[in-house]
A and B are shown apart, each in its own frame.
Chain A
Amino acid sequence: MFDFIQAILDGILFGTTYSLIGIGFTLVFGVMHKINMAYAAASIGAAYVGLVSASAMKAASAWAVFGCSLVAGGVLGFLVYLICFHLIPLRNENATLMSTVGMLLLADELISHATTGAPQNYPATLEDVMFRFGEMSIRGDLVVVFAVSVACTAALLLLLYRTRLGLATRAVAQQPIAAQLCGMRVAQVNALTFVITGVLGGIAGALICSAVGSLSILLTGPLTVKGLIVTVIGGLGSVPGAIVAGLLVGGLENAFQHFRGVTERDMYVMLLLFAFLIFRPGGIFARGQGRD
C-alpha cells in the first residue's frame, strides 16, 4: 500500500510538468479557439535556445538558463503566430491545425539537427533536494515546478481579468468582429497572446528539461500528446482545469503503471481521454452536457 501511495505521489508531482504544457495549449485555445500543435516542441526549442545562450554567456546556472529560455520562448511564440496563424487564412479551420503540425515536425527536426539527436545535460533547479516525511519522499525540483505552475496561473488570471490587455483579449476571444469595430487591433492582441504563451512555454520547457535532467527531441512528442490530453480533460480554455488535469493524468499514469505495468500504462491514459470526451466533453469543471 505504501508503494502505491508513493507511486501516486510521484506521479502527481511529475504531473506538474504536464500542467505547465497544458496551460499553454489551453490559453491559445481559449483566446483563438484554435489548437497550437507546435506548442510543446516550441517550448523545448526555447529551452534549447536558453541552454545554448546561457552557455555562450558562460552562465551555466539553472536560473540563467531559465531567463534565456523565457526570452527565447516569447520570440518563438511570436514566430509561431506569424508563420502558422497570421499568414494563414484563419477562416479555414483546418489550415492552422495543419500549419502547426508542420511547425511541430519542423521544430522537432531543427532540434534534432542542432543537437545531432543526442540528449543534452540540463541544469537542475534543486539538484538532489528531497523532502522526506518518514518513509515518504517528494522531489524538491517538482515542488518548484508546481509552485511555478500555480504562480503562472495566478499571473495569467490577473492578466486576463485585471488588465486592459486581458479585457481586450477576452473581447477578441468572444466577439472578434465587435472588438475590431470598437477599435481593438485583433492581430496585435492575438500576437501578444502568443508571446505570452511563448514566454510561458519557455518557462515550461526549461522546467521540464530540468526535471527530466536532459533535453532531447524525445520529449516533444510525448509532451504534445500529454498537453492535449490535459487540455481536453481540464476543459478546453480552462487554465485552472489544466493544472488539475495535469496532476490527475500524472497520478493516474503511475497508478496504471503500478497495477498494469509500463507497457499498458499509456493505453489506459488514452482510455481516460476517451472517457472524458464521451462523458464529460467540457472537462473536469464543466457541467454535464447532452450529446448528439
Chain B
Amino acid sequence: MNKIALAVAAAFAASLTISGGALAQEKTVVIAPFGVKTGVLRLFGINSEAAVKSAVEEVNKSGGVKLADGSKAKMVAAEYLDDRCNAEEGIAVVRRMVGSDALIAVGPTCSNVAEPLYGILQKKVDDAKDTGLQFPILTDVAIKVGLAKISEWSFRNVPNELTMYSSLYYWLKTTRPELKTVYGGVEEDFAHSRASWHVVMKDRANANGYQVLGESKWLLNDTNFSTQVREIKKANPDILSIAAHPFTTCGLLKEMQRQGVKPKLVVGLTSTSSLETMQACPKQAEGMIIPSSFAPVNKEAKYAAEQTAKQKGAADLHSMAAWENVFIIKEAMERAGLSGRKDAASIQADRRKLRDALAATKTTKGLLGVNKRTEDREADKPYVFVHGKGGAWHVLHNPL
C-alpha cells in the first residue's frame, strides 16, 4: 500500500514538474488587434483579423519572440475587438486593452477613430503633466494624412498618399501628355476621402501642372449621383479623380455610364483598390487607375495573400499592412528586450520599451520591398499602380 501511495505521490510530483516546466516555456507576448467588424466597413476588420492571425502563426512557426533573458515567448493575438468605426467605442476598446496584458494594439480601421484615440495616448513621452494611456498603437488601415504626429505613442504603417498620388500624376504627365485637366469627386463626410481630395489629390495634380477644373461632392450614404455626374459632364475633364469608397464610387461610375460621361481617365482612392469595388461594379471600374501599397507581385506577397486567404481574409493594401505590422512588432520586441513578465509594472515597462524600439526603427521589411520609417512615426512604403481589368486589379506600372 505504501509503495502504491509513494508511486502516486511521485507521479503527481513529476506531473507538477512537467506542467510547471511547460508553463515556464509558455511565455507569451500579446498583441491586440482592433478595427471595424460590423456595418459597411466590416470587410476591413475581417481582412485585417485574418492577416494578423496568419502572420502571428508565421511568427510562432519560426520560434516566437526572443525575450531579454534569451528565452522564447509565443506571440498571441488577442480577440479582434470591434470599434464600429466610432471614436468613443474605439477609445473604450483601447482602454480595455490597457487593462489587459497586451503590449501593443494593431488598428484602427477608421481615421475618425485614430485621430481622437491618438489624442489620449500621451502627446510626449515622459510628460508628467500628461498622464495619457501610454500604450503603443501601430495602425494598419486609418490612412488620413499626418495623424501619427499627434502622439509619440502612435505609429502607422499606412501608405503615404502624398507620395503615391504625386508619383501617379507625374507618371501620367509623362506617359499621357495629352491629358491636361483634372476634376475631383469627393465623399465630403468621410475623413479619409475628404483629406485625400482636398489635401492630397488636388494639391498633387496642381503641383504636376494639371489644371484643376473643380469638384463635385456627395455623402457616404448617397444613392443619387445624377447632379454630380451632370457637373462632371459640364466640366468635361480629361482626368476624373474620385476620392470615395466603393459604394459611392460604384454609384457614381454607374450613373456616368447611364449619362454617357466618359473622361479619358479615372483615378481612384487607394482604399478602392479592393475586392469590394470588383464585387459592386467590375464593368464600370474597368480602366480605373489607383496607386496601391500592395499587389501580389513577388513570392513573399503571394505567400502572405495565400496565408491570409486560409484565414478567410482577402489581401489588399490595408490587410497586408496588418500582416507587416506583426513582423515589425516582432522585430521591435526582440530589439527592445522585453521581460515578458505579467505583473502590471513589467507590462507597462515592456510597453515603453516596445514604443522606444518602434520609434528607433528606421526601416522595416515590407511585402513590396523596404518600408522606410519617418521622423513623425509614419511609413514611406513602396507602391505600384494598379488598374481594373477583367473584373480584378492588375499591376499597370511599378514606379520604383
Contact = CB atoms under 8 A, between A and B. Distances in A.
Interface of A: 3, 6-7, 10-11, 14, 17, 108-109, 112-113, 116-121, 127-128, 130, 137, 139, 208, 211-214, 216-219, 221-222, 254, 257-258, 261-263, 266
Contacts of A219: 223
Contact of A262 (B43, B219, B230): B219
Contacts of A108: 39
Contact of B281 (A6, A7, A128, A214): A214
Given A120-B280, A213-B281, A219-B223, A262 B257 contact: no
Interface in B241-286: 246-247, 250-251, 254-255, 257-260, 275-276, 279-282
B226 A10 contact: yes
Contacts of B259: 130, 137
A211 B225 CA distance: 11
B218 A217 contact: no
A263 B217 contact: yes
Contacts of A118: 43, 246, 275-276, 279-280
A3 B218 CA distance: 17
* CB-based closest 5 A-B pairs: A117-B42, A213-B254, A10-B226, A119-B280, A118-B276
A263 B188 CA distance: 8
B358 to A, nearest CB: 31
Contacts of B230: 3, 6-7, 10
Given A6-B230, A218-B247, A263-B188, A112 B40 contact: yes
Interface of chain B: mostly helix, strand, loop or mixed: helix
A251 B113 CA distance: 35
A262 B40 contact: no
Contacts of B40: 112, 117, 216-218
A251 B279 CA distance: 31
B246 A119 contact: yes
Interface of B: 38-43, 46, 188-189, 217-224, 226-227, 230, 234, 246-247, 250-251, 254-255, 257-260, 275-276, 279-282
Given A6-B230, A118-B246, 8 more contacts: A7-B227, A118-B275, A120-B279, A121-B279, A127-B258, A130-B260, A254-B226, A263-B189
A109 B38 contact: yes
Nearest to B280: A119
Contacts of A7: 226-227, 230
A46 B97 CA distance: 39
B227 A221 contact: no
A139 B282 CA distance: 22
A116 B43 contact: yes
B221 A117 contact: no
B130 to A, nearest CB: 34
Nearest to A216: B247
Given A119-B279, A222-B221, A139 B247 contact: no
A258 to B, nearest CB: 7
Contacts of B189: 263
6 contacts: A3-B230, A112-B42, A121-B250, A130-B258, A218-B221, A222-B221
